[in-house]
Amino acid sequence: MSNFEGVEISIKVVTDKDKTRVLFVEGDGNFADILLSFLVMPLGRVVKMLANDHVKENRPTIGCIGNIYNSMKALDCSCFCSRRVKESLTDPLSSFDEECAGLKLDICDYRPSYYSCHSICSLSLRKLSVYWDEPVCKCYKNMKLGAGEEQIQSDRLGKVFTLDDATFIVTDDLHIMPSTGTVAEMVTILGFGKPEGTAKQDVKLKHKDFVDLYIASLISETPLSEVILKKTGQEVKLGKIMLRAKNTESVPQESDKKQMILKMVINKSTKKLLFARGDKAIVDLLFSFLPISLGGVERLLAGKPFIKSIDHLYKSVHNARNKNYFKNSDIEKRLNRSSLAHGYLPKSYVLNLDEEKLPSDIEKYYVYYQLSKSFFYGQGKYLRGPKTYMIYDDLTIEPFYMADIFCNKEEVSPCDLEELNLTIGPEEALNLLQAALTTKHALTSGILNPHRDLDISVHE
Ligand SMILES: [Zn+2]
């Protein structure tokens, strides 16, 4: 059972007269904060939440990102640079954990970890970096992980991204704007042609509704209609389901960043992809999707279209109308930047994301922080090498053995196999990330299909 099971968020819903679609909803800062939190939740944390038995029931899956998470969990600890690396990917930190601790409702039900000093000074420090084992307090005692959490939680309860007492209009496709515009502006923004009549109702949204809304925002163009009208017993007209990743035209290449090779093993007769082979750098890249958030994906796409509702949510952060409604200007910049939490950035990372810097004032309170001993050899990488991994179209990952070529699941003769070497640079890595969120055939859609000359199709 979720810790937020009893929490309800009240909103006003305006639908068309027949209640077939939501025109817009109106809610307070708590509601806007929960929607904005969709942009900062690490994907691995969302996958973990969706796998919980009390959350799982009959919900659609999101692309095949869950297969990356499950493969990472199934991989033996000996494949990772340390046990702590695996733990850090199993429960990814977010650079917004402090803010999210104040959410009235957190869809991931996440409780940040805190280091506390059990001496008389009783200092607490949120876990800010995957590299820390035990920070040392100014009283020279090692701080212990876990305690101090409740006190900080209660201190922070309230609005986390937006100002107290503000109210917001949210369109069906997740444009957020303050409720202070003029009527004429509203009519233009909402695109009312000649409204045939409208209906208003009060709705209370619970934890499960926001989980549904997160998923609906990824697979429907009308997520609010889908979740709210289902809730009020109306028939829902599904929006267009987005299954294909859209290829970006070009992504700035940084010449100093390493390119990786993915070997695609293809059945020559049927042109079907059997699986791909890659080294630990490729798997590090796939595992690095787990600490990335949807805001991070948007940041990487730099304004190019991805999924309509998520595009709108991200653009709402920069909407000039919303500028004065954030708690501070720093929040807007950080939402825009969507940095990974400190310590997650692999060396030679091909994606154009950065990681959070540690706060400069930290030494005022703590003497020093010892970097993790268990990460000493692992900084900037997740997996030990050299080792080759097998990656299936749905991004299931397993250690590779040559025997798999000769005794493959599809029983294809090795003579009928060909291996294509494809270079994975920033553009391909981004295509793969988008494909992981939108399709079950991520390698075919994200990597092979953009190579139109290869004529390789998706086989169900
Ligand atoms: Zn102390």
Residue range 22-33, pLDDT digits in tens: 999 999 999 999
- pLDDT at residue 455 in the model: 46
Angle between helices 426-438 and 294-301 (to 10 degrees): 140
- pLDDT at residue 160 in the model: 87
More confident residue, 156 or 260: 260
Q: What is the mean pLDDT of the chain?
A: 82
Residue 105 has pLDDT above 90, yes or no: yes
From ligand 1's centre to the CA of 130, what distance in Å? 21
Residue 265 has pLDDT above 80, yes or no: yes
- Mean pLDDT of all residues in 152-158: 54
The span from the CA of 166 to the CA of 183, in Å, is 18
Owner of token pair 């910049």? 333
Cis-peptide, bond into residue 386, ω within 30° of zero: yes
Which segment of 88-97, 131-140, 154-163, 332-341 scores lowest on mean pLDDT?
A: 154-163
Residue pair 86/375 in contact (Cβ under 8 Å)? The answer is no
Per cent of the chain over pLDDT 70 is 84
Confidence at 420, pLDDT banded by 50, 70, 90: very high
- pLDDT at residue 71 in the model: 98
From ligand 1's centre to the CA of 135, what distance in Å? 10
From ligand 1's centre to the CA of 364, what distance in Å? 13
The span from the CA of 460 to the CA of 457, in Å, is 10
H/E stretch holding 277 reads strand 272-279
From ligand 1's centre to the CA of 100, what distance in Å? 26
- pLDDT at residue 168 in the model: 93
- pLDDT at residue 153 in the model: 54
The span from the CA of 355 to the CA of 98, in Å, is 16
From ligand 1's centre to the CA of 139, what distance in Å? 4
More confident residue, 408 or 272: 272
- pLDDT at residue 251 in the model: 44
